């Protein structure tokens, strides 16, 4: 998700059971009478089985890719187990609808982190997708590959920049502003520059006034600079990982989807992972591999419940340690951001989307044309720039949105509405924080909430980047193009604050931009990570972790694209290892 934090304590924006085809045959393994499995069996060709070649845990951004790639040949039986349910909710399909899914418990885990000393002791809200498509079904759709140096820093065999570029090209179908397509990949990535709000021109002019470069595409050959974000939409609708990868996979007779089911633990024979046990009591067996794709939070929880993690922590919870590795749940990284709000002298999206009649008109426009504001992300403009002194790579990501939501939550429902006056926001997040946190289980039960300890702003480097980012925003806002559309600030802004006050304001109002990674990071050995370069878990066989938790380090931008790329590359490795 990428909706940076708001002002003055304001929160940022905000199952069906069915079958694909005829009535399925009776499963060949016993079902728990209280919680029957919901299984979608490949258009119901073939019969249910208690064992599969591959079992993928999690139908999120990574799991959907794996389901597609591992099943394409028809050689392997693939099962995908998902804790959430259907992604048919209309606000999932509607690009701007994530403001309505942000707090929806039917499709969102709605995690809460532990009180964070770096953020003035606040306990941050951590949304994650609990639905087919995972967080790709509830995020703000921004698609950023990451910058070259991000992957050079991974320094893992097989994960060099040329290989990663090749994977991205295979993944993407790129839609240009004029509608022309390039590439033949399953995921549609749309350039909406011509449809973005007109105040984008003021933002880009402000960048030129400061001598900042302008980028035609953050996913192109020159990604640094200011520009317009590309988004994952197809024909005006969200193109999630479920839409792009899982739907094609489910048409194959060798793919089974099991949804609305929590995974309790993993099963082993010696050091080999043999399958899983569901919270409902059933077990599934993997003839070849179990692949964890439950995300930076969920994969940690499942491993630790299976006795893989920090031994002392597991023993306190009464869990027998199978593999003692404190890196399981460690090395947590995340982006932190903050919004600065301004009233505008010119109309913005607030004018169209705040009143009921404006929403209705935009709805009619969308239904008739699949266009208009409802077909876009609210995160329209941004960029990767160098805010810190020196000549290093881009260190700050910017957002410039033609809307504000300082008055959004109404005290009754946690929903996101634009303000009833013209306004815009500008936001920044440091690209590569050095602070590291942890994720651990709080109890052995699969329903128990995780313990998320972000450890935000724990280094001098991270605090210095906050100051540099805030001062960059101050310089941008002082340019004539942005002054021309600024009526008044809403809440504190950098020009009003000294360095100490900027840090204090960030601690009070800043927060996660919802990009957690690295909690099961790949590394050279078990002393520094959880998996090897082929995503195989250290100390076990037949078990991999393939999702954002596998990343060695946080990439500079939004993490959905790198997660999809990682799963795409992992599928190649998995298939190569089956010989």
For residue 485, give every residue at least 6 positions away whose Cβ sits within 8 Å of its Cβ, in sequence order, or none. 199, 202, 344, 345, 346, 424
336 in Cβ contact with 512 (< 8 Å): yes
CA 389 to each of CA 386, 465, 498: distance values in angstroms, whole numbers, following the listed order: 8, 10, 18
d(Cα 289, Cα 267) in Å, to the nearest integer? Answer: 12
- What is the side-by-side strand order in the sheet with 181-182? 181-182, 172-175, 187-191, 230-231
Q: Which residues pair with 158 in a beta bridge?
A: none
218 in Cβ contact with 227 (< 8 Å): yes
d(Cα 47, Cα 52) in Å, to the nearest integer? Answer: 12
Q: Residue 66: which of 401, 577, 564 has the closest Cα?
A: 564
DSSP one-letter string for 478-543: TSHHHHTTEEEEES--GGG--HHHHHHHHHHH-EE-S--B-TT-B-SSTTT-SB-TT-BBTT-BSE
d(Cα 153, Cα 265) in Å, to the nearest integer? Answer: 33
End-to-end CA distance of the chain: 38
530 in Cβ contact with 520 (< 8 Å): yes
Extract the runs of DSSP E, i.e. beta strands, from 371-481.
381-385, 396-401, 423-430, 438-441, 450-453
Q: Residue 259: which of 57, 457, 411 has the closest Cα?
A: 57
Question: What tokens appear for 140 in the block?
Answer: 């703000």
Active site residue 239: no
Neighbours of 45 (CB within 10 A): 11
Which residues are known to be catalytic?
515
């Amino acid at each position: 998700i990428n909706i940076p934090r708001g002002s003055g304590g304001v929160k940022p924006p905000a199952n069906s059971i069915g079958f694909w085809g005829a009535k399925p045959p009776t499963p060949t393994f016993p079902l728990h009478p209280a919680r029957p499995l919901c299984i979608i069996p490949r258009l119901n060709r073939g019969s249910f089985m208690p064992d599969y070649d591959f079992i993928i845990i999690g139908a999120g951004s990574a799991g959907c890719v794996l389901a597609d790639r591992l099943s394409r040949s028809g050689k392997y039986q693939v099962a995908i187990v998902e804790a959430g349910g259907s992604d048919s909710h209309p606000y999932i399909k509607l690009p701007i609808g994530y403001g309505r899914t942000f707090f929806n418990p039917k499709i969102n885990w709605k995690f809460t982190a532990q009180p964070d000393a770096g953020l003035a002791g606040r306990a941050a809200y951590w949304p994650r997708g609990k639905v087919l498509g995972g967080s790709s079904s509830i995020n703000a759709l921004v698609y950023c590959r990451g910058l070259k140096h991000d992957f050079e820093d991974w320094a893992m065999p097989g994960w060099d920049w040329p290989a990663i570029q090749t994977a991205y090209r295979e993944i993407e179908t790129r839609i240009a502003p004029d509608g022309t397509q390039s590439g033949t990949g399953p995921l549609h990535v749309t350039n909406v520059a011509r449809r973005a709000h007109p105040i984008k021109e003021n933002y880009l002019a402000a960048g030129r006034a400061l001598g900042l470069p302008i980028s035609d595409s953050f996913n192109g050959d020159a990604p640094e600079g200011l520009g317009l974000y590309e988004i994952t939409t197809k024909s005006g609708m969200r193109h999630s990982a479920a839409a792009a990868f899982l739907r094609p996979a489910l048409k194959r007779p060798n793919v089974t989807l099991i949804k609305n089911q929590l995974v309790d633990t993993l099963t082993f024979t010696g050091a080999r992972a043999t399958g899983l046990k569901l919270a409902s009591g059933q077990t599934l067996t993997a003839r070849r591999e179990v692949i964890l794709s439950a995300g930076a939070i969920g994969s940690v929880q499942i491993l630790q419940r299976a006795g893989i993690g920090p031994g002392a922590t597991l023993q306190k919870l009464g869990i027998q340690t199978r593999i003692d590795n404190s890196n399981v749940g460690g090395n947590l990284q995340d982006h932190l951001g903050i919004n600065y709000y301004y009233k505008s002298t010119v109309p913005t999206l607030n004018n169209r989307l705040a009143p009921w009649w404006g929403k209705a008109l935009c709805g009619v426009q969308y239904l008739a044309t699949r266009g208009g504001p409802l077909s876009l992300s609210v995160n329209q403009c941004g960029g990767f720039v160098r805010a810190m002194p020196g000549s290093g790579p881009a260190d700050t990501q910017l957002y410039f949105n033609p809307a504000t939501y300082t008055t959004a939550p109404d005290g009754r429902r946690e929903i996101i509405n634009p303000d009833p006056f013209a306004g815009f926001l500008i936001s920044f997040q440091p690209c590569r924080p050095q602070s590291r946190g942890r994720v651990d289980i709080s109890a052995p039960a699969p329903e128990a909430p995780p313990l998320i300890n972000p450890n935000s702003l724990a280094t001098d480097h991270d605090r210095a980047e906050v100051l540099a980012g805030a001062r960059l925003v101050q310089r941008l806002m002082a340019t004539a193009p942005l002054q021309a559309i600024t009526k008044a600030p809403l809440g504190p802004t950098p020009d009003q604050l000294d360095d100490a006050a900027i840090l204090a304001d960030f601690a009070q109002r800043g927060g996660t931009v919802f990009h957690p990674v690295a909690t099961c990071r790949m590394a050279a050995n078990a002393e520094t990570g959880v998996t090897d370069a082929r995503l195989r878990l250290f100390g076990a066989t037949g078990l991999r972790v393939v999702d954002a938790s596998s990343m060695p380090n946080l990439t500079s931008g939004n993490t959905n694209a790198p997660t999809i790329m990682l799963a795409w590359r992992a599928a190649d490795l998995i298939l190569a290892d089956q010989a």
